[in-house]
Amino acid sequence: MKLVKRYWMFLAVLLMDAVLVLARPQLGQEVVRFTVANFREMLLLLPPVFILLGLMEVWVPRETMTKYMGADSGAKGAALAVFMGAAAAGPLYGAFPIAVALTRKGASLHNVLLFIGSWSTLKIPMFLFETGALGARWSLTRWSASLVGIFVIATIMEKLLHRTDREQIKALAEGMSGD
Amino acid sequence: MFSYILYGAAGLGLLISYLKDKKKTKMALMKAWKPFNNLLPDFAGILALVGLALTVISPEIISRIVGAESGFLGMISASLVGAITLIPGFISFPMAYSLLERGAGVMQVSVFVSTLMMVGFVTLPLEKKHFGAKAAYLRNGLSYAFSFVVALIMGVVIR
């Protein structure tokens, strides 16, 4: 019963598929063929991607990396920030509390912005899955264009966020407890 | 083909990890299982729905709305859907694949994927709470604009 509840959407669609197969056999069969092909292709990609994701979560040392992301960390700090975001897992809002913690631990605004940008669109497990689903040409182009993009966005934001804005960001970070 | 490489990499990674630290490897597998198990119901549901919807809706209609010829207007509608909805990447890529197969354009699908990943309309209040209103609006606004730049590049590179 629990399983039915969890997969209600999937089961509901299957029911609609079944109705369609009975009512309009030709269209129904095409739906089934398209759906099965999609599932076979995509489902196969998930297990290894998630295993790599789990391994990264355990082996990438977040704490020690933060130390090298301060104001004068230069290219090394930026590279670490991008890598830390890319090695992450989960939706973008999962990055917010970590970004706040980075700010509190002294990472520069530029690096924090790079971290959020990288988390949003450069995540390695996602990149692997994207490559499997849409091809290397697609994923490599999007990944490298986005890599340039997050640097551009971080640089523009840094210019537009004035001292009072930065102080507000710092104050917000200090005010957030937890972590 | 690529999935074999993935399985090879995952297997090799597990082996090295296991040789170095059994406990950590077990933890990694647990950390892999939880999000996978959480994703599966939505993944199956939405993928099935996409399979149904994109077959019933004819490729002609799809390409009229988000096809290559839909141009900038098609990109705008795709980007709005991407900016507003919260769809996990693991679901959006199969969706993108199906859309492309059924007549959607590269630039339209690309701007959908990019805005989906970088712009978060629904999570904007949360973002404001963490970084202040100005930083949140700036990041989302710039990300939205940049998604179009990425899409243009994609349009040139992909066929």
Check whether B52 has a pLDDT greater than 90: yes
**Domain layout of chain B by residue ranges:** 1-41, 57-157
ipTM for this prediction: 0.88
Reported as a single tens digit per residue, the pLDDT across A56-97 is: 888 988 777 888 888 888 899 999 999 999 998 788 988 998
**Domain layout of chain A by residue ranges:** 1-45, 60-175
* CB-CB under 8 Å, B51 with A149: no
Interface check for A70 against chain B (CB to CB < 8 A): the answer is no
For residue A13, count other CB atoms closer than 10 A to its CB: 23
Distances from the Cα of B37 to the Cα of A47, A54, A157, B33, angstroms: 10, 13, 37, 6
**A contacts of B29 (beta carbons < 8 Å):** 51, 54
Give the span between the Cα atoms of B137 and B123, in whole angstroms: 11
Reported as a single tens digit per residue, the pLDDT across A6-59 is: 999 999 999 999 999 999 999 999 999 999 998 988 899 999 999 998 998 889
**A contacts of B38 (beta carbons < 8 Å):** none
Give the span between the Cα atoms of B22 and B34, in whole angstroms: 19
Give the span between the Cα atoms of B94 and B42, in whole angstroms: 12
b/e per residue B122-157 (b: at least 16 CB within 10 A):
ebbeebbebbbebbbebbbebbbebbbbbbebbbeb
Q: Which two tokens stand for residue A40?
A: 């076979």
Residues 6 or more apart whose Cβ sits within 8 Å of residue A86: A118, A119, A122, A123, A124, A127
- Between chain A and chain B, the number of residue pairs with CB atoms below 8 A apart is 230
Check whether A179 has a pLDDT greater than 50: no
